[in-house]
């Protein structure tokens, strides 16, 4: 069977999608597309055995009912460059294959992440692991960014000096900060990529990994547009209700009082008000630059 060629994906191959100040996502290769999902589901090798409408309906049926194995037949390979602290969140998704640049073999580059002013925000009061909506005043934020920059330069100078004095690279690298940029090749099947995107494109995910997820979503949409459409419809644009929340919906439909209160009620109301935006959030749009 001939290799699946998707024109939209071919146009993206080896094109850097700029992310953050020095990072990028690059689609290196892909295997399969929407056709592969359909063929796998039907255990068929014949191309065009069904109409586009029927193929689209099948893909939506598979994703809606969580028949995941046909989506595992599609594989994407990325070359990514990101700060180390982003990579350490990213690597929690263990259903991928990766090969990262090694500080034992290579001299690490003098490239560090510096946040933009609008990301210099206060600690959230209701989320222990996230930033809040309020930004620091410009003067304070600029001073902190300048301090980060100076610290990074000083630490990198110490790193190179230790190497010049004969210290092994694998020891000298131990002093480098989490803001240092690293690179890797990352290969994953479409089912597990969708799971990554579901978690990392969520508004609760850290901004610095969300922008990478948005860039990778562009690639997934190019490789398998129908599957990505189904993913948007049945995953990104949907909400999952607990048993108590289902009972609350039934009560509201019956004209009865909502039995939920307190924090469970707040979560329920947040789910009801969820609207899948047609365009990415403004801050994401600014951070992810389309390839030329």
Each residue's pLDDT tens digit in the chain (292 positions)? 567 899 999 999 999 999 999 999 999 999 999 999 999 998 754 555 567 788 999 999 999 999 999 999 999 999 999 999 999 999 999 899 999 999 999 999 999 999 999 999 999 887 778 888 899 999 999 999 999 999 999 999 999 999 999 999 999 999 999 999 999 999 999 999 999 999 999 988 999 999 999 999 999 999 999 999 999 999 988 888 899 999 998 998 999 999 998 989 988 888 887 743 434 444 544 555 555 4
Instruction: Give the number of other CB atoms < 10 A from CB of residue 84.
Output: 17
Tokens of 119: 């990301």
Tokens of 273: 């008000």
Q: Are strands 181-189 and 75-83 parallel, antiparallel or unpaired?
A: antiparallel
Q: Which of 103, 116, 102, 84 is nearest to 173 (CA)?
A: 103
Please give the positions annotated as active site.
200
Q: Any long-range contacts for 105-111 (C-beta under 8 Å, 24+ apart)?
A: 105/169, 106/169, 107/160, 107/163, 107/169, 108/159, 108/173, 108/176, 108/180, 109/181, 110/153, 110/156, 111/22, 111/180, 111/181
Asked whether 248 and 256 are in contact (CB, 8 A), the reply is no
Please, what sign has the CA dihedral across residues 129, 201, 241, 94? negative
Asked whether 42 and 49 are in contact (CB, 8 A), the reply is yes
Q: Which of 281, 269, 270, 138 is nearest to 205 (CA)?
A: 281
In 87-245, DSSP assigns E strands to 97-100, 121-123, 131-135, 181-189
pTM confidence score:
0.87
3-state secondary structure at position 217: helix
């Amino acid at each position: 069977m001939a290799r699946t060629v998707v024109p939209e994906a071919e146009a993206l191959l080896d094109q850097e999608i700029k992310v953050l100040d020095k990072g990028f996502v690059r689609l290196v290769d892909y295997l399969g597309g929407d056709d592969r999902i359909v063929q796998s589901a039907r255990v068929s090798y014949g191309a065009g055995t069904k109409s586009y409408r029927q193929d689209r309906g099948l893909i939506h049926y598979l994703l809606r009912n969580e028949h995941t194995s046909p989506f595992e037949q599609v594989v994407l390979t990325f070359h990514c460059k990101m700060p180390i602290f982003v990579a350490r969140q990213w690597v929690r998704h263990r259903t991928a294959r990766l090969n990262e640049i090694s500080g034992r073999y290579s001299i690490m580059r003098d490239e560090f992440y510096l946040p933009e002013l609008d990301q210099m925000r206060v600690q959230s009061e209701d989320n222990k692991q996230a930033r809040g909506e309020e930004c620091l005043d410009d003067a304070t934020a600029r001073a902190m960014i300048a301090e980060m920059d100076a610290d990074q330069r000083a630490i990198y100078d110490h790193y190179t000096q230790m190497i010049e004095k004969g210290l092994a690279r694998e020891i000298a690298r131990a002093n480098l900060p989490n803001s240092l940029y690293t690179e890797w090749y990352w290969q994953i099947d479409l089912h597990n990529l969708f799971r990554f995107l579901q978690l990392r494109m969520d508004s609760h995910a850290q901004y610095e990994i969300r922008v990478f997820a948005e860039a990778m979503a562009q690639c997934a949409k190019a490789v398998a547009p129908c599957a990505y459409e189904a993913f948007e419809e049945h995953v990104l644009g949907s909400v999952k209700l607990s048993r108590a929340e289902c009972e609350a919906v039934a009560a509201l439909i019956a004209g009865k009082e909502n039995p939920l209160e307190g924090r469970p009620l707040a979560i329920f109301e947040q789910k009801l008000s969820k609207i899948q935006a047609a365009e990415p959030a403004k801050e994401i749009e600014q951070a992810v630059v389309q390839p030329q």
